[in-house]
């Protein structure tokens, strides 16, 4: 038989002789007799370029959270850079052929956590709207978890959660695959404008008396200013705990112009609403997909069993 050990041995011997004649030694990388080492076969996934970018996003997000209560400009800058790097890690993954399941999950978890942290701050800034922000956090986490779990369970381990069949949902297919008449990265654009809306709300909590009545001056008598550096509040300003209510009010007293935050909020609000609709659709489709799998499993198990008449 052509697949017998003796035939394979003769073929290997002939290949080795040909390599020796061509000047290729036995341990050379091009040698057919070279045994690949375990180290070369196992890559360090954690040090892939896209994942390193993902780690830098986490560092920037943590830094933005540190500055969030007191320094809105610094926080917004760091937070925005972290969000923009979300597009770069995908480009790096495709360019270096380093797309991994770990990287995809890291990317999604980072997005969910950073958005949730910002919404938690908005809940503390506007307690009357806390229930709404809590609902948005829950919807975002539940939708993406269900979608990821359904993809891994129903489509197989190697399937990306961004590969959505058009027959399952045309809206999600368009969202994840970017197939539009004019070239446009739908996924990145929707996510970026969604984050821009919440960043605009964050800036408005420091700059708009319309949304934050506490920004309105209540006492204009000399020496009673709450501006940073005023004599009456010098010691309290210096020693204020970053997360305290006093620190937040002190930072809000450092007036900011609310024009651009209002513009950003107005432009991005329709896309933010679309993103929430997508989250609802994604949650429903994932739930139905899992239910289909449950029905199939139960049929294979012969369930429900017919009860015998006693």
Enzyme catalytic residues: 111
Compute the distance between CA of residue 234 and CA of residue 239 in angstroms, rounded to an integer: 9
Q: How far is CA 27 from CA 8, 14, 32, 33, 226, in A?
A: 20, 16, 9, 7, 76
Contacts of residue 91, Cβ cutoff 8 Å, sequence gap at least 6: none
Token code pair at residue 37: 């080492």
The pair phi, psi for residue 51, each rounded to 5°, is -75, -35
Q: Give the tokens for residue 26.
A: 């036995």
Helix (H, G, I), strand (E, B) or coil at 170: helix
| Secondary structure (DSSP) of 116-133 | HHHHHHHHHH-GGGHHHH
Query: How far apart are the C-alpha atoms of 254 and 72, rounded to whole Å?
Result: 10
Nearest-CA neighbor of 195 among 269, 287, 89, 306? 269
């Amino acid at each position: 038989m052509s697949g017998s050990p003796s035939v394979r041995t003769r073929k290997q011997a002939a290949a080795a002789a040909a390599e020796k004649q061509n000047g290729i030694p036995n341990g050379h990388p091009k040698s057919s007799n070279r045994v690949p080492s375990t180290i070369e076969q196992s890559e360090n996934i954690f040090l892939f370029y896209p994942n390193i970018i993902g780690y830098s996003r986490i560092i920037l997000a943590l830094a933005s959270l540190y500055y969030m209560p007191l320094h809105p400009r610094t926080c917004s800058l760091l937070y925005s850079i972290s969000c923009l790097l979300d597009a770069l890690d995908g480009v790096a993954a495709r360019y270096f052929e380093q797309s991994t399941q770990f990287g995809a999950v890291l990317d999604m978890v980072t997005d969910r956590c950073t958005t949730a942290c910002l919404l938690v701050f908005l809940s503390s800034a506007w307690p009357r709207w806390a229930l709404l922000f809590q609902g948005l956090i829950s919807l975002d986490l539940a939708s993406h978890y269900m979608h990821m779990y359904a993809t891994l369970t129903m489509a197989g381990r190697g399937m990306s959660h961004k590969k959505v069949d058009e027959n399952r949902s045309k809206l999600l297919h368009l969202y994840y695959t970017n197939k539009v008449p004019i070239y446009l990265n739908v996924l990145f654009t929707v996510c970026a404008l969604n984050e821009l809306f919440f960043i605009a709300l964050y800036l408005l909590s420091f700059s708009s008396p319309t949304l934050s009545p506490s920004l309105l001056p209540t006492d204009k008598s000399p020496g009673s200013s709450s501006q940073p550096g005023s004599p009456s509040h010098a010691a309290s300003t210096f020693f204020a705990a970053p997360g305290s209510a006093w620190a937040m009010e002190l930072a809000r007293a450092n007036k900011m112009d609310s024009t651009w935050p209002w513009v950003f909020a107005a432009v991005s609000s329709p896309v933010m609403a679309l993103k929430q609709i997508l989250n609802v659709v994604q949650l429903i489709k994932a739930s139905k997909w899992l239910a289909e799998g449950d029905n199939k499993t139960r049929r294979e198990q012969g369930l429900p069993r017919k009860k015998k008449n006693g």
